[in-house]
Chain A
């Protein structure tokens, strides 16, 4: 389609897509790239070669070195790619479903339904996000599931607003009026005409959010609520680097690798989703000249 061709032609969005492809391949091939040790309880719990507290530098056994407690950074990053996709796509999926449903119903029915639903959206938006997410994860316990629940519970509002304003805008458009005049049912209207066009901004939002959800997850890990100890999650690994950023005495950046590698992974992931999202938004903008 035209969209895809534009995405591939534009150098920046191409970069974004390639990066995403790279991450996807790493995620799929994780068991080959970072094989699971026999005594591991689950592949997502990073193996520890020993139990010394201080991180070890990069070596043949540990390509990216180890973080505190001797968790292998390379393994954590490789399997963490899966976690990143799970978190990003999971949260976006759940929140967009909730948000789009709420927003469409509000936009379509209007009147009192619209008022009530939008007030509910407002109430959720007045919740201090980090605090609420912390309370929820403290309640539900640590782990991927609780984190996804917490992030989606307080992240769906923007989708609702966006889809609602888009639907309201399109509803008034001529071609919808035209469709109505020759007897299109409401249901058909929504699904065949309105939603597909209203959906594009949501898509843009979703691609950006996929990246930013990983950031939010890492903030939660930093605050102590997030995935379990040793879980292969980039945010978890970055929070391990916390005490080692200030190196030792006269070697300030001695443990740079504990920060650099997980940090790079997160940055590139967020960056690539951003590039793709920006490109999608450019497609959406009717004023941009496309060559």
Chain B
């Protein structure tokens, strides 16, 4: 393991309290404050990766990093703090994976909904789906980044614009326009008739 040289030397002195007693407190506090957000973190990553196995990897790494840097948490908005780390882990993992390029399009996407998306998810074919929830989730997964991420943080995690801005590290105005765009795209895909009007 080449990485063995890195961890102990750089991580330990700065991020670890020295006494075992402090460690126990820290562990207990971490369990109390951060673990309740595990489902939310997993759901979030699941939508980012579109892959349950990869999502588990990201969450594992994120919780490890979160625990090691728990001393830097200032005691407010634990979910925002955790999600910032989670998102970082996701980007790191995706960026080191040359083959997949899932988040290649995460910034700067401004175009309209690709035509083939609308074809595949026309209202008619959507109605034919047996499981509405699965259909809805699949449709959300079709949204390009960064719109998917913004939508999930707002609609699923119910975070405020300010919290989303902190997690995605963009101005609040950008959160607003991304969310508006995400909902617009989703409405075109999901609401019967809406897309026709909208594009007319």
Chains A and B form a bound pair: no
Name B residues whose Cβ lies closer than 8 Å to a Cβ of A: none
